[in-house]
Structure 1
Amino acid sequence: MRTLAILLSALAILLVPQTTSAEQRKPNFVFFLVDDLGWTDLGCYGSSFYETPNVDKLAASGLKFTDAYAACQVCSPTRASILTGRYPTRTGVTDFIGAPQPERWNRKTKMLPAPYEMQLAHNETTIAEILKKNGYATFFAGKWHLGSKEYWPEHQGFDVNQGGIDRGGPYGGKRYFSPYGNPRLEDGPDGEHLPDRLARETVKFMTENKDQPFLAYLSFYSVHTPLMSREDLKQKYLQKKETLKHGEIWGKEGQRKARLVQEHAVYAGMVDAMDQAVGKVLDGVDELGLTQDTVVIFMSDNGGLSTSEGHPTSNLPLRAGKGWIYEGGIREPMIVRWPGTTKAGTETSQIVSSVDFFPTMLQIAGIDVPKNLTIDGTSFAPVLKGDEFERGAIFWHYPHYGNQGGSPSSAVRDGDWKLIEFYEDGHLELYNLSDDIGEQNDLTAKKPDLVAKLHAKLKAWRQETGAKMPTHRKGA
């Protein structure tokens, strides 16, 4: 009888569905955020000059978005939107932190820019804070640019901070090479290259936390100015440049010179080094045996520099670039790989915004968005599963003057239609992006009813989110 009881118990155990450790574990997140990378700055997005085999490989193993947007045409607002799931109008971070406030404005412009918050407030809830409360180890490396010391990553939910400070670029020491002069990044050997160092720190963190779920947020300083490349990569692209045959290199956007051709050897070297760093991190994921447990996200914070600061890249066929509300300033390369869910090598034209990462990552992790939070993002997890997704309109509000030539403006995209309002003179521009991705054919005169509808939607959104407005100067 005792033998029979033991056999029956063993059979019962076998018949009960067993949960594997992989099924019990929440997914890891590796988030790559590149600074100032343009929509066509990757091989998988059409560049024939820059070489990005590692990011291209990621795209071939995941889902590529063609209509993904940053919440702003400059860095800090977009960075805050990713972390909080909230539009810049709600966080108050509507310009890059460090831009002159209106009382210090000395440019001869028609308007005074609106005031903005110079830090991501502590009462904002970040994705890192929520994941940390739910058992995640959290890591940040690279560019932060969301406030002074008391607002650095370690005060916003990140257990580890490697290099995240108030600066908008690698402006200490030898900049992209050690010594870095960065109080949150110990100097390496003389001449050590920053993107490689940040990648190694990321792999180290993943190795030390491989037995628990983690968020590894690698926020590159690359490819932001100063334009500096490893010498070997610079020479590689100088040689490649000699083989190019192309037409005009320069055009114009407003009063600004705009680059039309991707051929800047130093910038190409910076893109290449960023790609190598991505490859190092992804190799680390593979070597740790975590590939199937890890969701990988790749995104840029705003468009590529085409109209100033060295004019290093072209965003064609998109119009303009960083600092502008045209597509070149806000449409971004974006790739997501969710093993077992995303279909390898696929592409979607689903419209998404950087505010959507917050609810998407929480849904993937099986964590509810706290009920006390007001967020603007919508989870695009259905898109990753191949399902239909009703995103609705997305919005922008930039009540400032960009260093790259852009002026105070706001915009809404709803379906194929995009309406822009320019605050200096109140004029509107309407584009159908499905057949005019370069925004060359303004349809406001032909579509007055649609203009009125979209303009009303834009104004209602500004009011609902508490958008601050620029003001006209006396006599301007």
Structure 2
Amino acid sequence: MKGYVLGCFIVGLLSFGCKDKVVPKDIDVPTTPNLVLFFVDDMGWQDTSVPFWSERTQYNELYQTPNMERLAKEGMKFTQAYSTAVCSPTRVSLMTGMNAARHRVTNWTLYKDKLQPMETNHKTLKFPEWNVNGLSPVEGVEKAVHATPLPQVLKEAGYVTIHSGKAHLGAIGTPGEDPLKLGFEINIAGHAAGAPGSYLGTENFGNGKEGRKVWAVPGLDKYYGKDIFLTEAITQEAKLAMDSALEKSKPFFLYMAHYAVHTPIMADSRFVQKYYDKGLDSTEAKYAALVEGMDKSLGDIMDYLDNKKISDNTIILFMSDNGGLSAVARGGEKHTHNKPLSSGKGSAHEGGIREPMLVKWPGKIKPNSVVDQQVIIEDFYPTILEMAGIKNYETVQKVDGVSFLPTLSGKSSGVTRPLFWHYPNEWGPSGPGIGASSSTRVGDWKFIYYYKDSSMELFNIKEDIGETRNLVKEQPEKARELAKILSDYLRNVEAQIPSRKDTGEQIAYPDEILNIYKS
């Protein structure tokens, strides 16, 4: 194995050149674990029968995710894990270790060089030229962040790198749209778009639909016309890819990135009837079936590892890319699908950014353990590389993430660092916490600043998880403290800030606004 890794590394240098390449050293090859990152799209904190709060809720009773329960019993549950409020920023942070304020892929990507219509048409704000082209593994792509992708580091360290499902990392016509250019050796169904044309094999997963070509899921031709759900198809392909890795006697990194549970909300016939029988409206029954189908995939992957007798040397990480959809396309009352959390996808409130997170590492993590350590999506980059035993590596980007390996081993210092979110964009729908904003969480306190009107919110999340009481007026000094922390960070990373359309002036930083009030 050691010889193979060295040979692979040398070949990589000869094939691609040394510029901006990762230089892994000190790899503990004999015990190198397999890595499975099970990544769900739009899955909310409450879309599971596993409670991530101090008590069970009606949603924990509604959804059936027995394999998440199984993973939680065998691993560690994180109750305060965060992503960003929409998909592409999270995915780029995952693949680069950078905070969104630094990488500037702050909204969802699709078309090259184009801002979203809801941004260009905004009545009062002019939005910055964010990196609409997403992630680029090479220099020179305009409006893209040049970075060393996570799978590239793992590939050069000897891993077989497998992408299965949704990519949504780069705009159409740019290198970042293709997972094979980002360090993945195998790409199953990944391309530029962030949603499937259809979940149904009988509809060829959207291929052939007039006017919907951009959303058609690629590379699954063998399933066309068959009665198979997309979640199942990419799971079957992922197992075949793992087979090929095992035949090479190499460790693998499986990025199991499901399109589920993103819209279009379609019925998975394997599970939907039970939810109809419970009396759920049609949309919510279909959504619950999407969730359960995702969970079956998790169980299938875990069963595969057990059957191949490699579970003991395989790490599984489970995470979602943003909060659960609630503002649009759902049944029932808007902004309530993640309660007790406020709001949902697209929001700076907890419902938009807090995620279900689980980690299993046999022999390293105490089974059935729970931690409230705060982690954020960019932390996965250094953590996964440390898990893989890659100690010395070089990246073209500055990595903002902090490894949570000490937390997994029970050695966390307990020190809480500020977490930051930056969304100088427009998502479209309206609702609590939705709109152009920047925010920070420091300990139990969370501060949000909205660019449209320079309004602010301050919450004590420990005492008010639902963000129902804005304490800016009651706790002005705490608001001022967090406003300065946030403003200093935005200045330090040169974060892009919206401007006023009428004057062209950049919107003030939150500490500047508070200083005006103070004076």
TM range (shorter): 0.7 to 0.9
2:87 maps to what in 1?
A: 75
For residue 375 of structure 1, give the secondary structure of its aligned residue in structure 2: coil
Q: Given that residues 113 and 408 in structure 1 are in contact (C-alpha distance below 8 angstroms), is that contact kept between their aligned partners in structure 2?
A: no
SS of 1:230's partner is coil
Counterpart of 2:194, as a letter, is G
Closer, same or farther: CA 454–274 of 1 in aligned 2, 3 Å: same
Quote the offset at 1:241 in angstroms.
2.6
> Which stretches in structure 1 are left out of the alignment for 5+ residues?
1-21, 243-248, 250-261
The equivalent of 1:142 in structure 2 is: 165
Contact 1:35 1:219 in 2 (8 A): yes
Question: C-alpha offsets along residues 75-100 of structure 1, whole Å, 9 cap, x if unaligned?
Answer: 00000111111011222210011386
Superposition map of 1:12-161 within 5 A: 24-45=30-51, 46=56, 47-70=60-83, 72-98=84-110, 101=115, 105-117=119-131, 118-122=133-137, 123-147=146-170, 148-149=172-173, 150-151=175-176, 152-161=178-187
1:201 aligns with 2:237: yes
What pairs with 1:391-430 in structure 2 (closer than 5 Å)?
Answer: 391-405=416-430, 406-430=434-458
Amino acid at match of 2:192: D
How much does 1:233 deviate?
Answer: 2.0
CA contact (8 A) 2:198 2:204 kept: no
Q: Deviations over 1:146-193 (max 9, x none)?
A: 122532100000000001101110126958953552333334152321
Partner of residue 17, structure 1? none
Counterpart CA distance in 2 for 1:143 and 1:317 is: 29
Instruction: Say which SS state the counterpart of residue 187 (structure 2) adopts.
Output: strand
1:381 and 1:225 map into 2 onto residues whose CA distance is: 34
- For 2:191, the aligned partner's letter is I
SS where residue 358 of structure 2 aligns? strand
Deviates more, 1:41-50 or 1:414-423: 41-50
SS in 2 for 1:335: strand
Distance 1:393 1:175, change over 3 A: farther
Q: For 1:375 and 1:205, how far apart are their aligned partners in 2? A: 30
CA distance in 1, matches of 2:116, 2:437: 16
Give the 4+ runs in structure 1 shifted more than 6 A. Answer: none
Residue 279 of structure 1 corresponds to 299
1:239 to 265, 271, 277: 277
Q: Does 1:309 align with 2:329?
A: yes
Q: How far apart are the structure 1 equivalents of 2:93 and 2:201?
A: 27
8 Å CA contact 1:29, 1:296 repeated in 2? yes
Higher mean C-alpha deviation, range 129-138 or range 94-103: 94-103
Match of 1:354 among 377, 381, 389: 377
Query: How many residues are treated as equivalent by the alignment?
Result: 436
Q: 2:142 is matched with which residue? A: none
Paired position in structure 2 for 1:214: 252
Match of 2:221 among 186, 205, 221: 186
Amino acid at match of 2:229: H
Q: Deviation at 1:105?
A: 4.1
- How many angstroms apart in 1 are the aligned matches of 2:202 and 2:288? 15
Correspondence for 2:18: none
Point out the more displaced range, 103-112 or 356-365: 103-112
Instruction: Identify unmatched segments of 5+ residues in structure 2.
Output: 1-27, 138-145, 208-216, 505-519
Q: Which moved more, 1:92-101 or 1:120-129?
A: 92-101
Matching residue of 2:466: 438
How big is the alpha-carbon RMSD for the aligned residues of Structure 1 and Structure 2? 2.3
User: 2 CA distance for matches of 1:105 and 1:383?
Assistant: 40
Aligned match of 2:398? 374
Q: What is the match of residue 343 of structure 1?
A: 366
Greater Cα radius of gyration, structure 1 or 2: 1
The one-letter amino acid paired with 1:156 is: L
* Matched letter for residue 459 of structure 2: Y
Pairing 1:163-178 to 2, within 5 Å after superposition: 163-171=189-197, 174=200, 178=204
TM-fit CA distance, 1:371:
4.6
Secondary structure of the 2:135 match is coil
For the Cα contact (< 8 Å) 2:98–2:399, is it kept in 1? yes
Partner of 2:141: none
How far the C-alpha of 1:108 sits from its partner, in A, is 4.4
Q: CA deviation at 1:391?
A: 4.5
TM-score w.r.t. length of structure 2:
0.80
1:204, 1:214 → 2: CA distance? 12
Deviates more, 1:108-117 or 1:440-449: 108-117
Deviations 1:302-346 (A, max 9, x none): 000111123577100000000010000000000001111111111
Contact 2:283 2:331 in 1 (8 A): no
Measure the CA separation in 2 of the matches of 1:232 and 1:328. Answer: 28
- 1:228 equivalenced with 2:266 (yes/no): yes
Cα distance change, pair 419–141 in 1 and its aligned pair in 2 (3 A): same
> Is the 1:176–1:228 contact (alpha carbons within 8 Å) kept by the matching residues of 2?
no
Q: Matched residues in 2 for 1:472 and 1:176: separation?
A: 49
* Native 8 Å contact 1:177 1:194 kept in 2: no
Sort the Cα spacing of 1:131 and 1:391 in 2 relative to 1 into closer, same or farther, 3 A.
farther
SS at match of 1:130: helix
Secondary structure, in 3 states, of the residue corresponding to 1:314? coil
| SS of the residue 2:47 aligns to | coil
314, 330, 347: which one pairs with 1:324? 347
Q: Deviations over 1:15-57 (max 9, x none)?
A: xxxxxxx981301100111000000111012411110001111
Q: Could you tell me how far apart the structure 1 residues matched to 2:94 and 2:468 are?
A: 30
SS in 1 for 2:62: coil
Q: Distance in 2 between matches of 1:451 and 1:411?
A: 11
